[in-house]
Amino acid sequence: MTTAPFRLAFFSTQKYDITAFDSQLPKHITTEYFSQQLNETSVKLAEGFDGICCFVNDVLSEDVIERLHQLGVKLIALRCAGFNNVDLKAAKNHGIKVVRVPAYSPEAVAEHCLALILTLSRKTHKAYNRVKENNFDLNGLLGFNLHNKTVGVIGLGKIGTAFVKILNGFGANVIYFDPFTESDLAQSVSIETLYQQSDIIALHCPLTNDTLHIINEQALEQMKPGVMLVNTSRGALIDTQACINALKSRKLGYLALDVYEQESELFFKDMSCEIIDDDIFQRLLTFPNVLITGHQGFFTKEAVSEIVATTLNNVDEFIANSPLTNEVK
Ligand code: NAI
Q: Is 295 a catalytic residue?
A: yes
Q: Which of 100, 234, 261, 317 is catalytic?
A: 234
Residue type at position 157: G
- Could you say which architecture CATH assigns to the domain 6-104+301-319? 3-Layer(aba) Sandwich (3.40)
Ligand 1, pocket-test mutation among 14, 104, 185, 205, most atoms within 8 A of CB: 205
Q: Is 221 a catalytic residue?
A: no
Q: Is 306 a catalytic residue?
A: no
Q: Each residue of 258-277: pLDDT tens digit? A: 999 999 889 999 999 999 99
User: pLDDT averaged over the chain?
Assistant: 97
CATH H superfamily, domain 106-292: NAD(P)-binding Rossmann-like Domain (3.40.50.720)
Domain limits, CATH 3.40.50.720, in the chain: 6-104+301-319, 106-292
Answer yes or no: is the C-beta of 100 below 6 A from any ligand 1 atom.
Answer: no
Taking the chain (329 residues) in runs of 10, the rounded mean pLDDT of each run is: 87 96 96 97 98 96 98 97 94 98 94 98 98 98 98 97 98 98 97 98 96 98 98 97 98 98 92 96 98 96 96 98 97
Q: What's the predicted TM-score (pTM) here? A: 0.92
Answer yes or no: is the C-beta of 260 below 6 A from any ligand 1 atom.
Answer: no
**Which pLDDT score, from 0 to 100, does residue 3 have?**
80
Answer yes or no: is the C-beta of 159 below 6 A from any ligand 1 atom.
Answer: yes
Q: Each residue of 263-314: pLDDT tens digit? A: 988 999 999 999 999 999 999 999 999 999 999 999 999 999 999 999 999 9
Q: What spacing in Å lies between the alpha carbon of 80 and ligand 1's midpoint? A: 12
**Which pLDDT score, from 0 to 100, does residue 253 have?**
98
